[in-house]
Amino acid sequence: MSSYIVLLGGPGSGKGTQAEILVEELGLPQVSTGELFREHLKDGTELGSLAREFMDRGELVPDEVTIGMVRERLARPDCTSGALLDGFPRTIPQAEGLDALLAEMEAELTVVPYIKVNRDTLLQRLAGRWTCRQCSTMYHVVFSPSFKAGICDRCGGQLYQRADDTPETQLRRIDVYFEQTAELIEWYGKKGLLVEIDGEQSIGAVGAELLMAVREQCRT
Ligand code: ADP
Ligand code: AMP
């Protein structure tokens, strides 16, 4: 049976961190729209330069562009039996777009874990986030530091702070989340797909709760 899972939560709630754990446990590919946009930026594509304008301001990239990129990604062979979507959908039109894409694939969403974290925690987490340039492993200066400052424990790569992790952009991204994305909580709740996870716990505890919820839902 296929499993398409949407990880919902604010910027800094831990979607990327948890996706790393889930991908290994469930053997599903991670589809992160933020990562896909960053790859386009790195490769200097037209889509990348269009996305940059929005990302640098903490705004959402337009729905049609984002849905088009996800359509292409889900059409690749590794997504035929499922995917873990991280950072998508972020608006109701994107959620409708996803339903349509999955219907074309004769598939449907399995579960939408919502990682619930309050606004102050979101800011604290974004402010201390460092990422490996080479393998994208996530660190936090206080909550999850690397063994050697600035160096990735996993691959020895250099850690960097994302260009859109400036204090102004962090605040804007959090506002955009509450204005445009948080309504998806109710939307997926009404569809009976939402499972709320307490995201204020440690990374390990959130991961354990998340895995239990996903396994439970994938079985039914
Ligand atoms: P998102 O993908 O939702 O934007 P990230 O996974 O990038 O969030 O996490 C943001 C930051 O918070 C990272 O620095 C990460 O190490 C840290 N973090 C994630 N989950 C937790 C947690 N449960 N407790 C403390 N820090 C966390
Ligand atoms: P993230 O890596 O999820 O924090 O996303 C970084 C940035 O990429 C966001 O602030 C947006 O500008 C853009 N982005 C990522 N996912 C989406 C999406 N689903 N819709 C629109 N913009 C997105």
Residue 45 falls within a domain, yes or no?
yes
Within a domain: residue 102? yes
> What CATH number is given to the structural domain containing 53?
3.40.50.300
Mean pLDDT of 131-150: 94
pLDDT: which is higher, 218 or 97: 97
Asked if residue 139 belongs to a domain, the reply is no
Q: Which pLDDT does position 55 carry in this prediction?
A: 96
Tens-digit pLDDT profile for residues 28-42: 999 999 999 999 999
Tens-digit pLDDT profile for residues 41-61: 999 999 999 999 999 999 999
Range of the domain at 207: 3-125+166-219
Tell me which of 173, 190, 191, 215 is the catalytic residue.
Answer: 173
What is the model's pLDDT at position 163?
86
In a domain, 140, yes or no: no
Q: What is the pLDDT of residues 80-94, one digit of tens each?
A: 999 999 999 999 999
Question: In this prediction, what percent of the chain has a pLDDT beyond 90?
Answer: 92
Pocket test for ligand 2, best of 7, 61, 65 (most atoms within 8 A of CB): 61
User: From the candidates 52, 71, 162, 172, which is the catalytic residue?
Assistant: 162
pTM for this structure? 0.95
Q: Is residue 174 part of a domain?
A: yes
Contact between residue 70 and residue 17 where contact means Cβ atoms under 8 Å apart: no
The H-or-E segment that residue 188 falls in is helix 183-190
Query: Which residue has 């393998």 as its token pair?
Result: 135
Query: How much is the pLDDT for 7?
Result: 98
* In a domain? residue 146: no
Residue type for 155, please? C
Query: Going by C-beta distance under 8 Å and a sequence separation of 6 or more, which residues neighbour residue 36?
Result: 69, 73
Residue 15 bears catalytic tag: yes
Distance of CA 4 to the CA centre of its chain: 14
- pLDDT at residue 218 above 90? no
Residue range 136-153: mean pLDDT, rounded: 95
Average pLDDT, the chain: 95
In a domain, residue 77? The reply is yes
Task: Round to whole Å and give the CA distance between 190 and 114.
Answer: 14
Query: Does the C-beta of 88 come closer than 6 Å to ligand 1?
Result: no
In a domain, 27, yes or no: yes
In the chain, how many domains are there? 1
166: number of Cβ within 10 Å: 14
Average pLDDT over residues 72-86: 96
Residue 198 — very low, low, confident or very high, per pLDDT cuts 50/70/90? very high
